[in-house]
Structures are given as C-alpha cells and as structure tokens.
Structure 1
C-alpha cells in the first residue's frame, strides 16, 4: 500500500506549523507535503522535520495547487481563512486525482456579536451541531463567511468532501518551525506594553472561547485520521461539516488583569492599573481592536468531541507568563514603559 499523502498549506505559520509538528510525530508513516513561500522557509521546515517534503509557491499559484490537490489523500488548507481562490484551486485539483478530503481553517470570529454593546457579555452559545444551518447561512457581514461558503460550494461542485475547522482564541507558544505566536493575546500584550498601561474595551466583560495550540493541532489530526477511513469515517463532511474547537472561555478583563500583573512583575509596565477605552480609542492601538477584544464569540465544539477529541493542554492563564515573556523580549521592554 502506497503512503497516504497529506498536503498542508501554512507550515510556516502558527497553526500550520503546530499541525506539522503533531502529525510528523504521531504519524511518521504519512507523507507530509507542505507549501512554503521560498527556499529559506523550505530550509527551516526541512531542518526540523527532515522527512517532510516541501514545495515552493503561494496561495495564488493556481496550477501548483491543482497539481498538489491531485496527488493528496487529504488536504489541510491552514495558511489562510480568507483566501477564496486557494481553496477552489485545490478542490478542483482533488477532483482530478484521488478525490480525497479537504479540510479548511476558518475562525470563530464568524460568530462575533455585540448585542449589549462593546465590552459586555452575550448569552448566545452556538453549537456546531444544533446551529450549523444558521452558521452556514450567515450573510457576508460575518467575518470569514464568504470564504466558508466558497469552500462548501466548491466541494459540492467538484464532488469533494469538505470540512471547516473554526478555531477560537488560540493561546500558547507554538512548536512549529517558524512562527510560534498567535494573534489576539500577543497583539493585546504588545498594546499594553507599548502604551505602558493595561486596557479593556469598555468593561471588558465580553466573552470568547479559547484553546491551547497543541489541542487545536490534535483536532486537525483527528479529522485527518477520519478522512483516511472508508467514507470519511465518523466525521461529518459537506455543508454540515463544521467544527468549533472550544476548550473553555474567558472574559477579556480577566486576561488583561493577568497580563498586567505579569508585565508589572517583570518591570515592563509601572502598575497593574487598567484603563477602560472606547472602541475608537482601542482602534488607535490596533485597528482590529473591536473585533479582537471588544465583542463576544461563544461556541460549542460538539462535533470534534464526538470524534474522541480530548483537550489536555494548560489553561490560558497557565500559558500567559511564557507568552508575555515572548512579547517583552520581542519589544525589548527592558525598562518600565512610560504611560500616557
């Protein structure tokens, strides 16, 4: 029996790098092929994972993606949640080859809502089973929705089983070959360190789900294992093949308090005090601030749990000291910052 071929985009990224790390350890019998931008990235990937194959290209290289889609048993498009043509190209290629399974990364930002104003909690928790038809019918005002729809439509058009994995707030320092930092908490930490004082948007009582980076990679591993079984195993594919990955949730004010305490203890900010900013004020710190830290994204990953997924990573609060230290080092915060 020939080795099963897994094509992974995004190996240089935070999620993709962690997926490569997990899969190379758990399934050395698989042939892992990764898309990288240039020879330097290829060198870094091969240096850490000698058995992993690399191909050089981008998500805009239609012909390359078609060819890689042809020879793959499973494709994990983890490089971008917002690149429509990449998924279409790969799925088209898959239809001309082994007709395998396609797994796409999205994001629970699709659920973002502020029904009670920025900084205030919402009560709605979306299940990827009970609410899947609503989720996959959102209009284009929802982040990532256009791309999710294109994946489902392309899968139907070309007869390829698809699944969409929608991560929540991802935390922890990754173990991949290149990028090891996420977005939301590192950007928040950078903002706090740079302004010299912690902040929330409004009261900061809005709620997001979260997941440790390795637990997320394990979710992709489990889905890939199911994809390689006859008829896609026990996983759900197609329009209802939607997977949230929540472990637990947090209020942003609690995360901010923890970051402020750690940063103050490190001497990186002068106090643990927290300012309450308007969305407009926070946007001056980061243009995505209202989406990243101002609203609510609440979900239940019923489908992935049903496949036996059991997250075991440290909590977000246990991971914060290491994450804050990375940002302090990155910004060179060797002295107490100046507030304004």
Structure 2
C-alpha cells in the first residue's frame, strides 16, 4: 500500500538518515519534506528529485496542520522533542484530516528523546553519580507515562500521547525516544550527531579528557542507521497493519514509548577512549583527565556537555517484541576512530 508521507527534518541528522533508509526501501510512497530554506531545499531535491518540498518552519502552524491533514503518515524529527507549537499543529492536522469512519487513519511517528530520563539527576543536583536505575518501554511503560511534568521533553510528549489516547481510533501515534546517536548519517545535509561529537570536539580542541562530576554517569546509545530502521519498520506497520500479528495497542497509542537503544556507555570511559584515539591518530599529545563542572560544561558545549554527567538508561524491548527490530550497526566504541577523524576534518575545514 502506497502512503503519503510528510517528514520534517530531512536536512537534519535523524530525519536525513530516516528519509534515506525509508526511500531506498520504499520508493513507492509519496514523500513531502518540510525544508526551512530554498538553498537546503535544492540539496534535497537534487538527492530526491521525486520528493515534494514545501518551504516553511516549525512556527508555521497553518502549513504544518495542512500537511498533517493531507498525509497518511507524519514523521516528525525536526526539533520535535521541544517545539510544543509544532506538535500541537501536527496533532490538530491529523485529527482534522483523519477518521476511522472515512477509512483514513493517520499515523504520527514522533521523535522524543531519553533526556526525559535525566530529570531525577537534574532535580537532585547529582552530577556524574552512578545509578542502577533503568527504565523500560515495555514492562515499565506506565512509569514513563507518569513521569513528572518537569522532566525534559515531557510537555511535548504529553501532546503526542494525549492525541493517541483521545483520538486513538482515528490517529495512531508512536513516540520514539533515541538516546545518544552516533554514526555517519546518510542524509543529504547533516551527517553528524551531537552528544558524542561535541565530546570529541571538546577533547580535540581543549586537549583534555573531561570528567563531569564523579565521572560515573551512564547513557544508552544507538547507531543512526538502526534508528532509521526503526522508523522504517513503523511506516511498514502503518502500510500493512493487517499483516501484523501483534495487537495494535502494543504498536500504537497513548501509552506507547519506543526506546531505541542498542548499548550503553559510561561517559568518562567513552571520553578516555576518544582521547586515546586522538593520541593514536597523532591529532593530540597524550591527554590527561580534568574535572569539568556544570557551569563550565554549559559554557563549553551547552546541554550536551551537562548530559555527560547525567544518567539516562532505558531498555528498548517494545521495538524488538512487536516490530522485530534487530539493530546491526557498529558499536559506539568501534565507531570512535571514525568520529575522531571526522571531527578533526570538520574542525580543519572551519579553521
């Protein structure tokens, strides 16, 4: 079944890789991409001549609502976890344009983030402390849907989940929450992640190995190609829902989270591995560890740097159980030399 797909963030890291994966496997679908500028639109159109481009941004609520109403599937990846206005517009469009009675069901694949799991460290002022706490998107999903309103991304998550709860007969939602994302993206514009790449940049430029707080915080991770594959599997579930043996309520709905993890790292250990690679590749001399406090971290690299001192651990069981998701990308540890080389080249080009 061919679908009309509306995607935001096609020039970004997640959206670009998702469009690549989805389009390569399902060219039969009709794709419309929201692009902010004509310059970037030209790049997307060159890479995908058959993709329709609409120029606009996340503040253009009328355009978002219109496109969501017309699409069968909305894949929202552009600043999706924090832009409440865009989420409200997409929700309104999906509700307005779809109904079970008309035979048109709408599907919303929304990108959240596991930053939502850091709220306790943040509120209690913990930095770099070890934690055994691990969330779960299957057996522990009720805990996720009852996280406090103060948790990161929670305000937008609530918009998505409430749409699935109130309008579940007409609009099916899936809230995908990736952790640290790594690997070179295959999209036409952005090919670089944030957290691990900003860490690599700091180590290359400041020439030390940062230890945030006690240096024991842990975070899950996923290769960008495996994350893209999850989005593709969800689109396939939307295209042929009758072929799925699992209950629809396990795939879609107001109580459905998808953690997209395939590993875990301790931030300090990852920083040490990056530092060793910098030295081996002769980009730096031998590097020493140095304490990095919260305020200094914010100055160095913003939220990404502070996140190196917080725990975010969420087990991804749902995608494996109900979609057969089977990650196959290289580990973040194996990807470190590539990250270091790419960041080194990027910094050279900017200098």
**TM-score under structure 1 length normalisation:** 0.92
After the TM superposition, which parts of structure 1 deviate over 4 Å for at least 4 consecutive aligned residues? none
Q: Distance in 1 between matches of 2:304 and 2:293?
A: 10
Q: Distance in 1 between matches of 2:308 and 2:4?
A: 39
Higher mean Cα deviation, 162-171 or 90-99? 90-99
Q: Tell me if 1:101 matches 2:100.
A: no
Who is 1:297 aligned against? Answer: 312
Q: Counterparts in 2 of 1:64-143, with a 5 A limit?
A: 64-80=63-79, 81-97=81-97, 98-112=104-118, 113-114=120-121, 117-143=126-152
Q: Tell me if 1:287 matches 2:295.
A: no
Who is 2:184 aligned against? Answer: 173
Q: Distance in 2 between matches of 1:195 and 1:106?
A: 31
Higher mean Cα deviation, 36-45 or 112-121? 112-121
Q: Distance in 2 between matches of 1:198 and 1:209?
A: 20
Who is 1:145 aligned against? Answer: 154
Q: Tell me if 1:224 matches 2:223.
A: no
Q: Distance in 1 between matches of 2:150 and 2:283?
A: 38
> CA RMSD for the aligned pairs?
2.1
Q: Tell me if 1:330 matches 2:346.
A: yes
Provide, for residues 245-269 of structure 1, a one-character-per-residue CA deviation record: whole Å limited to 9, x for no partner. Answer: 1101011122111110111223332
2:199–2:305: 8 Å Cα contact kept in structure 1? Answer: no
Q: Counterparts in 2 of 1:1-340, with a 5 A limit?
A: 3-80=2-79, 81-97=81-97, 98-112=104-118, 113-114=120-121, 117-158=126-167, 159-230=170-241, 233=244, 234=246, 235-289=250-304, 291-306=306-321, 307-332=323-348
1:18–1:217: 8 Å Cα contact kept in structure 2? Answer: yes
TM-superposed CA distance for 1:289, in Å, is 5.0
Higher mean Cα deviation, 64-73 or 214-223? 64-73
Specify every segment of 5 or more residues in structure 2 that has no aligned partner in the other structure, as ranges. 98-103
Residues 289 and 22 of structure 1: CA distance in aligned 2, closer, same or farther (over 3 Å) = closer
Q: Distance in 2 between matches of 1:86 and 1:288?
A: 22
TM-superposed CA distance for 1:99, in Å, is 3.4
Who is 1:338 aligned against? Answer: none
Higher mean Cα deviation, 76-85 or 8-17? 76-85
How many residues are paired up?
334
Provide, for residues 206-229 of structure 1, a one-character-per-residue CA deviation record: whole Å limited to 9, x for no partner. Answer: 110000000000011111111223
Q: Secondary structure at the match of 1:322?
A: helix
2:16–2:186: 8 Å Cα contact kept in structure 1? Answer: yes
1:10–1:16: 8 Å Cα contact kept in structure 2? Answer: yes
1:255–1:317: 8 Å Cα contact kept in structure 2? Answer: yes
Q: Distance in 2 between matches of 1:180 and 1:154?
A: 32
Residues 50 and 133 of structure 1: CA distance in aligned 2, closer, same or farther (over 3 Å) = same
TM-superposed CA distance for 1:116, in Å, is 9.5
TM-superposed CA distance for 1:185, in Å, is 0.8
TM-superposed CA distance for 1:290, in Å, is 5.6
Q: Secondary structure at the match of 2:67?
A: helix
Provide, for residues 21-56 of structure 1, a one-character-per-residue CA deviation record: whole Å limited to 9, x for no partner. Answer: 001111111112111112111111111122222111
Residues 167 and 232 of structure 1: CA distance in aligned 2, closer, same or farther (over 3 Å) = farther
Q: Distance in 2 between matches of 1:25 and 1:202?
A: 44
Q: Secondary structure at the match of 2:127?
A: coil
TM-superposed CA distance for 1:179, in Å, is 0.5
TM-superposed CA distance for 1:309, in Å, is 0.2
Residues 289 and 311 of structure 1: CA distance in aligned 2, closer, same or farther (over 3 Å) = closer
Specify every segment of 5 or more residues in structure 1 that has no aligned partner in the other structure, as ranges. 336-340
